[in-house]
Structure 1
Amino acid sequence: MTPDRLSRSALAAALPRPDVTGPRVEPARTGIVHLGLGAFHRAHQAVLTEDAAAATGDDSWGILGVTQRSARVVEQVAPQDGLYGVLTLGAADASLRVVGALREAAYPGRDTAHVLATVAAPTTRVVTLTVTEKGYRRGPDGTPDLSDEAVLADLSALGRDDDAPARSATGLLVRALDRRCREDGGPLTVVCCDNLTDNGRVLAGLVDGLLAAAGADHLRAWVAEQVRFPSTMVDRIVPATTPEHHARAERLLGLQDQALVVGEPFTQWVVEDDFAGPRPAWELAGATLTRNVAPYERAKLRVLNATHSLLAYAGALRGHLTIAEAVADPVLHEWARALVDDDVLPTLEAPDGADLAAYRDEVLHRFANPATGHTTVQVAMDGSQKLPQRLLGTVRDRLTAGATPQAAALGVAAWMAYVRATSAGDLVVAGRPVPLDDPLSARLADAAAGPLRGLPDRLLEIEAVFGPDLRSSDSFRAALATALPCFV
């Protein structure tokens, strides 16, 4: 017999059950609009927002979650009254939490009018985003890509009550800010939760650049005065949800949950304390509020994210399906430690006196958790967007210090070999061919084609990835040439 589907009424009849906790709040109104309603937001910010609301008894922080490319997540959560489970998997145990912070879900393809109206409402105080690096549609210089037709279409709607479907996340955001300004909705805080260095400033710059391009001078001035863009650092491993995860959650809950997400036990959120108005008491839910996010962000990007990428590329090339398998490989484990110890730690300032060597060990321990099933191919996607954030900053800092970043070059060489293998159709992991999944796939494939000997030279010429400086470093070029044979 097929179990009932998760909903508020079905859940009330199903609980209590061992290893399952129910929603901690039932939000009475929407106070947050989130752009990018993927698994990470549902396993991270939404959970901490619910905990913050429960800690204060404030039911005004319900979330309107907005998808990006399709209505799939809306179709998963809407029939469940916004409820979904977070299956937390340790190395030896599992627990399920049903989250109720998501009050509504919307798809811009049909719900743009509702999203704009909700952001404009004075009761909405915060907009958050998780749209991934490529979702910000930046050009090679980091400014808005004004050749992007979707962005231009959204900009054309500024200044009027145009509810045409939004076509980009940044376009939707500036249209929503425009509506809030014209309707006098009051101050607003926009919180970027993506892995961009200094993400708040980056997003603020993108918004300003879009408004400048549109000639929206009045709106630019209003945003400068009324909107804050705090920077953040977010951390929780959230792998893709598998049929096995669904089956495990169904056994725990006794109900079907088509919106289930999976996460590791660890969660971290560091937020710059720079808000335009009220916010959830996230610090009561375990978040760190600080005036300076940069040391936390840099440590996470260069220790965790860079190591994740090295293990993904090198692991896939060695046939490992998961990150847990890759970090258990003695050679890759040693490479990961060398990356942190030899090249990353000399570039870091310990946030609030943290023990960064202990942080390295904690990261590698988390990666070794086999229950999450985070795949190497999943982490490896969009490398042209991730590499500059995760590895190339370390490379530049070491070169500036007069050191040759041999271990960091190993990570970059692994990416180069991965690009070559996937673009040629030569990489097979767990019996399946792996394609090159990257916004610059055509350009990367062209550069990767040709003799192996010149591969670093050809890829270093892609300024969108390496900038104008790294190709002129003889020591970095030599380090890549030395490292590349490890992967071919």
Structure 2
Amino acid sequence: MSSPTHSANTGRIILHIGTGSFHRAHQAWYLHRLRESGNEHALDWSIAAGNIRSDMNPTHEALAAQNGMYTLETVTPDGVRAYEHIRSIQHVLPWSPDHAPLIECGASRTCRIISFTVTESGYYLDSRDRLDVSHPDIAADLDGARTTIYGVLAAILDARRRADGGPVTLQCCDNLRHNGEKFRAGFAEFLERRNLAELKRWVDEHTTTPSAMVDRITPRPTPDIRPHVLAATGFDDRCPVMGESFAQWVIEDDFIAGRPAWESAGAELVDSVLPYEEAKIRILNATHSCIAWAGTLAGFEYIHEGTGDAEIARFAGDYITQDVIPSLLPSPVDLPRYRDVVLERFGNPDIRDTNERVAADGFTKLSGFIVPTLRDCFARGASPSATALLPALFLAFLARWADGTLRIPYRDSLLDHQEIRAMLASEDPVAVFCADRRVWGELASDSRLVEAVRTASHSVNLWLAARHGVHNRK
């Protein structure tokens, strides 16, 4: 461990696994705000941070050399930058192939929460949210390795059980729908397949896994952040982080061994995260995809460029206003305000989020982000014309990718490229597109869906023809 402000044997520790940019711009920032707030018990809590894999070692070593302190640069949609020295990481755990530092920390009674950011793919869940046992990493851990969050947590919690370390909360902090619930199901299946029945019983009785909705756009640090920090603060930070000024954290209040007073730092503690999660997925995530697909078709490279285009902004705004908001009411979220805030965030030119990144995995995003709103519209007898424009944009995006006129590559983990090309080469691509049950579920081949997407595709083609004509005249 690095030289901590508090001894590792005092206070209450959050062991966090995954010291990437998002954790340091989000969860660690929230605890820093709490520690700086003057809350009576805030300084009782600190973070011990470590990693499962060694690819973050250079950043992690820089963090250790700075005793866990680093600088967060935030930028508003108006371009106003602010700088904070974040000091909530009090213990930097060195990486080890056997993960002994993680196991020792997580087994200690002073550790009350084990949190993790391992990215959505780090949960190895298939399209039915079952553990993907065919993946080599999972197969290795089922044989006793420690390469995934499941294998490492099994080792940590078995050591904690043997040491009588007491109950502990397992807190997923990744952008995964129903994240606590899905992680717990995946972990339970992993323990069953490892024949760790005694450990599974202990986990069932001594852990909770609250779901949470996390939100802060945090791009990969670029080379200009370090000189920005030096110029603004006088500190030559070797591991600074940059993010937007907006941040949100909605957490189910289900902590079995105590928790920091997150609400004093601006987090929202709720009985159910579901309505907040639905608002984010349908408004933020689906709209992000809409702007990425439309923006790419219009010739833009970045999300903020498409957001600033009047026609594309109208596509996004109509989708939210006409279809999403009526589908989600009543809601504890001020949905019109949330819509406006999301679009303002997407228009931030300093974030420089690429269409290529956001446009990927479109079939998965259709299924998770967009189909629920289509389903709700049909259920209440409303025409989903604004929502149908999103899959129509995606279909046009795919068509231009297939004929080589799209300027960016396309990546999709659900379908292979040969299958996509066969769909587009069929006599009726819209009908084939709308027949895939993996994407549309019970709506597959529904005549209402086919008609809505076909009508929207015609509108998209007219829009593209008009834009092409304008560009030719310039």
What is the TM-score when the length of structure 1 is the normalising length?
Answer: 0.84
Amino acid in structure 1 at the alignment position of 2:254: D
In structure 2, which of residues 168, 172, 186 is the aligned counterpart of residue 206 of structure 1? 186
Structure 2, unpaired ranges of 5+: 465-474
1:117 to partner: Cα distance: 2.5
Q: Distance in 2 between matches of 1:362 and 1:264?
A: 12
User: 2:442 — aligned with what?
Assistant: 469
| TM-superposition CA deviations, 1:160-207 (whole Å, max 9, x none) | xxxx5x222333333333332233221111112223222221111111
In structure 2, which of residues 395, 398, 420 is the aligned counterpart of residue 447 of structure 1? 420
In structure 1, which of residues 285, 288, 294 is the aligned counterpart of residue 274 of structure 2? 294
**Are residue 320 (structure 1) and residue 294 (structure 2) matched?**
no
The 8 Å contact of residues 52 and 99 in structure 2, kept in 1 or not, is answered as: no
Structure 1 residues 297, 113: closer, same or farther in 2, change over 3 A?
A: same
In structure 2, which of residues 312, 322, 329 is the aligned counterpart of residue 332 of structure 1? 312
1:50 to partner: Cα distance: 1.8
Structure 1 residues 295, 57: closer, same or farther in 2, change over 3 A?
A: closer
Q: Distance in 1 between matches of 2:258 and 2:214?
A: 21
- Which shifted more, 72-81 or 202-211? 72-81
User: 2:123 — aligned with what?
Assistant: 136
| TM-superposition CA deviations, 1:280-312 (whole Å, max 9, x none) | 111111111111211111111111221112112
| TM-superposition CA deviations, 1:406-453 (whole Å, max 9, x none) | 22222223334444545665422xxxxx2223434x624532344276
Q: Distance in 2 between matches of 1:456 and 1:472?
A: 10
User: 2:355 — aligned with what?
Assistant: 376
User: 2:72 — aligned with what?
Assistant: 86
The 8 Å contact of residues 314 and 332 in structure 1, kept in 2 or not, is answered as: yes
SS in 2 for 1:469: helix
Q: Distance in 2 between matches of 1:125 and 1:256?
A: 34
Structure 1 residues 113, 348: closer, same or farther in 2, change over 3 A?
A: same
Q: Distance in 2 between matches of 1:149 and 1:289?
A: 37
Structure 1 residues 223, 88: closer, same or farther in 2, change over 3 A?
A: same
1:75 to partner: Cα distance: 4.2
- Which shifted more, 268-277 or 377-386? 377-386
User: 1:74 — aligned with what?
Assistant: 60
Q: Distance in 2 between matches of 1:483 and 1:48?
A: 43
The 8 Å contact of residues 35 and 42 in structure 2, kept in 1 or not, is answered as: yes
Q: Distance in 1 between matches of 2:66 and 2:397?
A: 40
User: 1:215 — aligned with what?
Assistant: 195
Amino acid in structure 2 at the alignment position of 1:291: D
Amino acid in structure 1 at the alignment position of 2:70: Y
SS in 2 for 1:58: helix
1:62 to partner: Cα distance: 2.0
- Which shifted more, 333-342 or 126-135? 126-135
- Which shifted more, 390-399 or 448-457? 448-457
Structure 1 residues 381, 336: closer, same or farther in 2, change over 3 A?
A: same
**Are residue 233 (structure 1) and residue 216 (structure 2) matched?**
no
- Which shifted more, 185-194 or 454-463? 454-463
Q: Distance in 1 between matches of 2:299 and 2:94?
A: 38
**Are residue 186 (structure 1) and residue 190 (structure 2) matched?**
no
Q: Distance in 1 between matches of 2:360 and 2:101?
A: 32
Q: Distance in 1 between matches of 2:449 and 2:377?
A: 10
1:67 to partner: Cα distance: 5.3
User: 1:308 — aligned with what?
Assistant: 288
SS in 1 for 2:84: strand
The 8 Å contact of residues 271 and 288 in structure 1, kept in 2 or not, is answered as: yes
| TM-superposition CA deviations, 1:454-481 (whole Å, max 9, x none) | 44444555554x1542323222223223
Q: Distance in 1 between matches of 2:434 and 2:95?
A: 38
In structure 2, which of residues 35, 56, 73 is the aligned counterpart of residue 53 of structure 1? 35
User: 1:150 — aligned with what?
Assistant: 137
Structure 1 residues 243, 284: closer, same or farther in 2, change over 3 A?
A: same
Structure 1 residues 404, 82: closer, same or farther in 2, change over 3 A?
A: same
Counterparts of 1:103-114 in structure 2 under 5 Å?
A: 103-105=90-92, 110=97, 112-114=99-101
User: 2:15 — aligned with what?
Assistant: 33
Structure 1 residues 103, 447: closer, same or farther in 2, change over 3 A?
A: same
Identity, % of aligned pairs? 35
1:364 to partner: Cα distance: 1.3
User: 1:364 — aligned with what?
Assistant: 343
User: 1:345 — aligned with what?
Assistant: 325
Structure 1 residues 393, 104: closer, same or farther in 2, change over 3 A?
A: farther
SS in 2 for 1:225: helix
In structure 2, which of residues 366, 379, 387 is the aligned counterpart of residue 400 of structure 1? 379
SS in 1 for 2:111: coil
User: What number of residue pairs does the alignment pair up?
Assistant: 451
User: 2:148 — aligned with what?
Assistant: 168
SS in 2 for 1:472: coil
The 8 Å contact of residues 323 and 376 in structure 1, kept in 2 or not, is answered as: yes
User: 2:468 — aligned with what?
Assistant: none
Q: Distance in 2 between matches of 1:272 and 1:456?
A: 41
Q: Distance in 1 between matches of 2:230 and 2:355?
A: 27
1:107 to partner: Cα distance: 7.7
Q: Distance in 2 between matches of 1:218 and 1:399?
A: 47
Q: Distance in 2 between matches of 1:103 and 1:384?
A: 42
**Are residue 65 (structure 1) and residue 50 (structure 2) matched?**
yes
- Which shifted more, 180-189 or 55-64? 55-64
SS in 2 for 1:258: coil
Structure 1 residues 366, 151: closer, same or farther in 2, change over 3 A?
A: same
Q: Distance in 1 between matches of 2:124 and 2:436?
A: 18
User: 1:96 — aligned with what?
Assistant: 83
- Which shifted more, 238-247 or 144-153? 238-247
Structure 1 residues 427, 292: closer, same or farther in 2, change over 3 A?
A: same
SS in 2 for 1:95: strand
Structure 1 residues 119, 453: closer, same or farther in 2, change over 3 A?
A: farther
What is the TM-score when the length of structure 2 is the normalising length?
Answer: 0.86
SS in 1 for 2:83: strand
Amino acid in structure 2 at the alignment position of 1:341: T
